[in-house]
């Protein structure tokens, strides 16, 4: 038997709030991938933005077939206390890049995003 005591990493409300923002990036912006400007998925935006939020130089590994794979932190590792800063970071980057976010802070609070 093992007992582990950990802090809360995130709430469902925290998680729900990030996806409309990440989807807005995916829907509204192009990003350079393999030399071409293309739309990327919300999950891919999450990887890019998480690395930027952590201010880390990306770790790049060789893929199994010779490509490159970006390694880094995942939002599931964030502590509950980090979520307000993470969401503020997403909103700031969105504003800088003129991405329209579909969920207001008031709506997010009503969804329990800041619990």
Going 2 to 4 to 10 to 12, the CA torsion angle's sign is positive
Low-confidence ranges of the chain (pLDDT < 50): none
What pLDDT, on a 0 to 100 scale, did the predictor assign at position 16? 84
By the 8 A CB rule, do 15 and 112 touch? no
Write down the pLDDT at residue 104. 64
Q: Which domains does the chain have, with CATH numbers?
A: 12-110 (1.10.3790.10)
pLDDT score, position 42: 96
Torsion of CA 78, 82, 84, 89, to 10 degrees: -80
């Amino acid at each position: 038997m093992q007992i582990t005591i950990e802090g809360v990493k995130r709430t469902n409300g925290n998680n729900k709030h990030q996806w409309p923002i990440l989807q807005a990036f995916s829907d509204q912006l192009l990003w350079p991938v393999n030399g071409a400007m293309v739309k990327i998925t919300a999950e891919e935006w999450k990887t890019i933005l998480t690395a930027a939020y952590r201010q880390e130089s990306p770790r790049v590994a060789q893929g199994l077939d010779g490509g490159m794979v970006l390694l880094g932190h995942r939002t599931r590792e964030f502590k509950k206390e980090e979520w307000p800063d993470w969401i503020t970071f997403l909103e700031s980057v969105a504003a800088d890049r003129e991405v329209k976010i579909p969920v207001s802070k008031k709506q997010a609070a009503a969804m329990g995003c800041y619990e």
